[in-house]
Amino acid sequence: MATHHWLNEVSNVEESKYLKYPLGKVILKSILKFIVFLLVVGLVFALGLIIGYAVIGKGHVWAVFNQDTWRHIMNFLN
């Protein structure tokens, strides 16, 4: 009985040495999650600009992405 218990412990130790998923798959999944996160942050930022400039500020919706608009804002802040 003691030998059987020892064999189970050895097999559990050997199994714990290996990753549950391949390392490449884990890295790829992490990179994809990061890319999706950046896309969501960019989308939320763009929606915030549109809401702030067009809805609250009564400006044209796409004017917030115009370079002249940002130049005017930066000149105003300086």
Does 67 reside within a domain? yes
Does 4 reside within a domain? no
Does 35 reside within a domain? yes
pLDDT in the model for residue 10 = 56
pLDDT in tens, 17-76: 666 778 888 999 999 999 999 999 999 999 999 999 888 988 888 888 999 988 998 999
Q: Name residues whose C-beta falls within 8 Å of residue 50's C-beta, 6 or more positions apart in sequence.
A: 61, 64
More confident site: 57 or 12: 57
Amino acid code (one letter) for 45: F
Query: What's the domain count of the chain?
Result: 1
CA distance 35 to 29: 10
Question: Which domain does 52 fall in, by range?
Answer: 24-77
CA distance 67 to 75: 12
Predicted TM-score of the model (pTM)? 0.62
pLDDT in the model for residue 36 = 99
More confident site: 8 or 60: 60
58: left (phi over 0), alpha (psi -120 to 50) or beta: left
